Amino acid sequence: MESLMSFLTGPGLIISLAVFFIGLAVRLVLYFMGLDWRLDRVAYKPHMSEGMRGGLYSAYKWLVPFGTFGWRAQPFFTICFFLLHLGAVLVPLFLTAHNEILRMRFGFGLPSLPQGVTDVLTVATIIGLFFIILRRIALTEVRIITTAYDYFIIALVAVPFVSGFIARVSSAGSDGWLLVHIISGELMLVLAPFTKLSHIVLYFASRWQLGADYSIKRGGHRRGPCFPW
């Protein structure tokens, strides 16, 4: 147990973080290398500054809650989405316990959010996931496109959050939950580049592309600098 734990928080952690970061970086590079101005029918290079402006705006605009027509059209999902993602992005990075481990092992860590805040964010994530699952079951238009793989991804994200939260709130005998948390968390990191979770970076790639497409080719200067998302 002791040695498993020290493996998981030592070499195991290093490996999963390396796979996660290198893997995602590779996916991002491969994405942009695979853009083809002739096949995509977007002249990226000659109009790079318009493309950049439209692309970055398109990625940014969709990160603002209710910031786009699309988000405003679906208030319920928008709330679930931001509940889920606020925690999913912030908690792993800024949780005190995570940064303590980092400091212990590697001698550096990120600043931490107060415990109360990360608790709230964790609960938000879990609630967000819960309603996203409900929505998948309840709405026919979502059910028809839902696959087992979607539930696998949701589970891959849910397990580390739920187990981590239980380990944190149950005072005694939480080693089991902690173990589940660490294993599932590292599994998530390792699998992210190879699954739909790669959207962590590919979101930016894909949103950039469509924004650039609209600013370079489908409207460009005639519309004003950016598409009105």
Partner 1 sequence: MPEGQLCNRTPISTEEALKALLADKGGKQYYDEMTKLDVDTVKLWSTIEKTCKTRTKTWLEICAHCGLCADSCFLYRCNNADPEQVPAFKIQSTLGEIIRRKGNVDNAFMRRAMEYAWSRCTCCNRCGQFCPHGIDVGVMFSYLRGLLYSQGFVPWELKIGAGMHRVYGAQMDVTTEDWVDTCEWMAEENGEEWPGLEIPVDKEDADIMYTLNAREPKHYPEDVAEAAILFHLAGENWTVPSTGWEQTSLSMFAGDWEACRMNVEKVYDSIERLRPKRVIGTECGHAHRATVIEGPYWMGRPDGLPPAEYIHYVEWVAEALRTGKLKIDPAKRIKEPVTLQDSCNYVRNHGLGKYTREIMSYLADDFREMGPNREYNYCCGGGGGFNGIGMYRKQRNVALLTKRDQILATGCKLVVAPCHNCWDAIRDLEEEYHIGIKWTFLKPLLIKMCIVPDHLKPQEEDGEE
Counting contacts by CB under 6 A, is residue 88 touching ligand HEM? yes
How many H-runs (helices) and E-runs (strands) does the chain carry? Answer: 13, 0
**Contacts to partner 1 from residues 13-42, by CB under 8 A:** 30-42
Q: Which of 81, 155, 187, 210 binds ligand HEM (CB under 6 A)?
A: 81
- Tokens 């709230």 belong to 120
Does position 225 bind partner 1 by CB under 8 A? no
Binding residue for partner 1, selected from 5, 8, 43, 97, defined by CB under 8 A: 43
d(CA 98, CA 100) in angstroms, rounded, equals 5
Q: How far is the CB of 55 from partner 1 (least distance, A)?
A: 10
Q: Confirm or reject binding of residue 203 to ligand HEM (CB under 6 A).
A: yes
The answer to whether the beta carbons of residues 204 and 29 sit under 8 Å apart is: no
* Residues in 183-202 that interact with partner 1 by CB under 8 A: 196, 198-199, 202
Phi, then psi, of 150 in degrees rounded to 5: -60, -40
198: left (phi over 0), alpha (psi -120 to 50) or beta: alpha
Q: Which is nearer to ligand HEM, 124 or 217 (CB)?
A: 124
Among positions 15-44, residues that touch ligand HEM (CB under 6 A) are none
User: How big is the site for partner 1, counted in residues (CB under 8 A)?
Assistant: 59
Site for ligand HEM in 119-158 (CB under 6 A): 132, 150, 153-154, 157
Give the SS3 label for residue 170. coil
- 74 near partner 1, judged by CB under 8 A: yes
The footprint of ligand HEM on this chain (CB under 6 A) covers a number of residues equal to 12
* CA separation, residue 146 to residues 67, 70, 122, 134, 198 (Å): 26, 20, 25, 12, 18
Interface with ligand HEM, residue 199, by CB under 6 A: yes
Distance CA 138, CA 2 (A): 44
Task: Give the torsion through C-alpha atoms of 74, 79, 85, 86, to 10 deg.
Answer: 140
And the tokens for 102?
């980092």
CA nearest neighbour of 15 among 164, 178, 186: 186
Q: Give the binding site for ligand HEM (CB under 6 A).
A: 81, 85, 88-89, 132, 150, 153-154, 157, 199-200, 203
Q: Give the binding site for partner 1 (CB under 8 A).
A: 30-43, 45-47, 58, 62, 69-71, 73-74, 77, 81, 139-147, 150, 196, 198-199, 202-203, 205-207, 209-211, 213, 216-220, 222-224, 227-229
